[in-house]
Structure 1
Amino acid sequence: MKNSQKEQPLVLQVQDLIELSTGYQTGITNFPLAMVNDHIVRISIMTEDYHWHFHPNSDETFLVIEGTIYVDLEEKTIELSKGQMFTIPRNIKHRTRPKNKRSVNITFESQNLETVLL
């Protein structure tokens, strides 16, 4: 996963999520937008599949703001379109991938999220 130069979330500033995601057209880019108590809100721009993984210490919520993503679980695949949201409980193996060429998602997770790649 590639991180942009935006390492710290902005505080007390309006953020234009469409503008923030515009320059990323290849790979997977993921960076923080905001801290909310002990959780972090991230933007993820995807043009390729992410690895199978799970989070032993946190649930993870995805909100699609552009395109469509597949959330692959061991037993089924969930398709999420713009404006749809889905929460994956901790310890559930999953991966995300864009349906077409690109997707932009907002993720909500614990700031101490642990990721175990499979």
Structure 2
Amino acid sequence: MYEVQDVRVDPASRRAWRGTEEITFSRKEFDLVLALISRAGELVSREELMRDVWNTTFWTSSKTIDVHLGWVRRKLGDDSRRPHLITTVRGRGLRFETQDPRTLPQTPIARTSSPTP
């Protein structure tokens, strides 16, 4: 059983919950969630997802992952414009967040000042 934030996934029974509500995923949607939540906090490349979820080393469609990810996000209630469960790191892959990034303290931007003469 994997439990991250308020999402639980049981690989043995192929069931998933968000809080107390059971979420029904298609086979590929479940496999995608499992591939991400089992490596929560880690960046998972699109190549790894194609291999692990679709059992292929070639791209059947550049939109395959995006389409399934959209369905998964909708079912989990994860806003694609401000995701807090599954984030996309452009050009690198996807990450199932271990904490809601919206609640993490913001790091102030360091500013350099010019030396005074």
Between Structure 1 and Structure 2, the one with more helix by share is 2
Between Structure 1 and Structure 2, the one with more strand by share is 1
- Provide TM-score, normalisation by structure 1: 0.33
- Provide TM-score, normalisation by structure 2: 0.34
- Which structure's relative contact order is higher, taking Cα pairs within 8 Å and 6+ residues apart? 1
Q: Which has the larger radius of gyration?
A: 2
